[in-house]
Amino acid sequence: MWETIQFILVLFAYILGSYFATKQISKWTLKWNVYLRLLILSFSYALFWGVGIAFTGGDPGFAFPFPNLITIGLMGFMGFYWGILTGLAILGIWWILFFVFLLVRNLINKKKQLLNN
């Protein structure tokens, strides 16, 4: 029972910490170039909210899903190629996906503003 409560508390703390960290990054980059801001925001979203896998050396084909921030830390113990490089590749995929999503959302909002004026 106590392990379940600890898990819920750690999960809640991670979600709150990630939310406030991304909000703070959003505030810091408010006056920057739009595309640079989107690039930095998409990286923070990919780091905190993108899902990576942390595999173990024991069972082949067995892996746990973790946020990319935790995955890269855990994979450091597996060696450079299988660990960090794999974690960074997955982080890069999430980074591109979030950037495209934010860019499209930004362009749609610009188009709506032009049509309303």
In tens digits, the chain (117 residues) has pLDDT values of 888 888 889 889 988 998 999 999 999 999 999 999 999 999 999 888 887 776 666 666 666 677 777 777 777 676 666 666 777 788 888 899 999 999 999 999 988 888 887
Say what the pLDDT of residue 82 is.
Answer: 67
**For the chain, how many residues are written?**
117
Say what the pLDDT of residue 7 is.
Answer: 83
DSSP letter string, 53-102: EEE-SSSTT-EEEEEHHHHHHHHGGG-IIIIIIHHHHHHHHHHHHHHHHH
Domain assignment present for 86: yes
Under the phi-then-psi rule, with left for phi > 0, alpha for psi from -120 to 50, and beta for the rest, what region is 14?
alpha
Cβ–Cβ < 8 Å for 87, 39: no
Domain assignment present for 10: no
Domain assignment present for 46: yes
Range of the domain at 88: 32-116
Based on the structure, what is the number of domains in the chain?
A: 1
Domain assignment present for 54: yes
Q: Which two tokens stand for residue 40?
A: 């930095």
CA gap 48, 42 in Å, rounded: 10
Burial class (CB in 10 A: 0-12, 13-18, 19+), 41: middle
Domain assignment present for 73: yes
Say what the pLDDT of residue 80 is.
Answer: 67
CA gap 57, 60 in Å, rounded: 7
Domain assignment present for 3: no
Domain assignment present for 80: yes
Say what the pLDDT of residue 73 is.
Answer: 72
Cβ–Cβ < 8 Å for 54, 74: yes
Domain assignment present for 5: no
